[in-house]
Structure 1
């Protein structure tokens, strides 16, 4: 993952899991690989919807704050995502939930980081 797509995912990842701000290059690359693997399991239509939603969030960020999401202060991005998560429009709520799920999986899915993060997967869950 690279370019604007990576910047958007990284911004949301850092808002959802602030500890990810301290990731070294290896952890960041592993997190993007996990996102790619999860997206590869989705239909082309779902992948397009996720990409379009991130572009929409970026555009809303530009309208509201005059900056793209990767340039926002953490509180601004958190406020934007919270507002979308509370939207009357179901697609906005589902979009935030879907993106948050992806980025959290990309962090907590790294077995190498679990002890650092204080995360212990539920019994019977591997990976």
Structure 2
């Protein structure tokens, strides 16, 4: 996370330096001018970020990061259609079944909501 934050700071400095020449496509990894980069360049940047971090690159694939990204968006209560759009999925089923993973926090949140509902029902029945 720290390395990604540093990357974002460098990217923001580059945006300021280039001014209107920079095309802001809201990409995490892009060319110096803000345009999408080809896959081989993306992987080179990705490897460089992991070399700087304490994470073993072989343990975290780029595809795994997609799963983490989608799951965290879900944890932040981003609506599923927005997640689907961000990920470029044609089907919400793909987004929800294959990529979004439930978390302990979500389990606790659901349980707390049910307990609250039961508490309200008990209080209103008295």
Structure number with greater CO (CA < 8 Å, separation at least 6) is 1
Q: TM over 0.5, yes or no?
A: no
Instruction: Decide which structure has the larger Cα Rg and report it.
Output: 2
**Length-normalised TM-score, structure 2:** 0.30
> Going by fraction, where is helix more abundant, 1 or 2?
1
**Length-normalised TM-score, structure 1:** 0.30
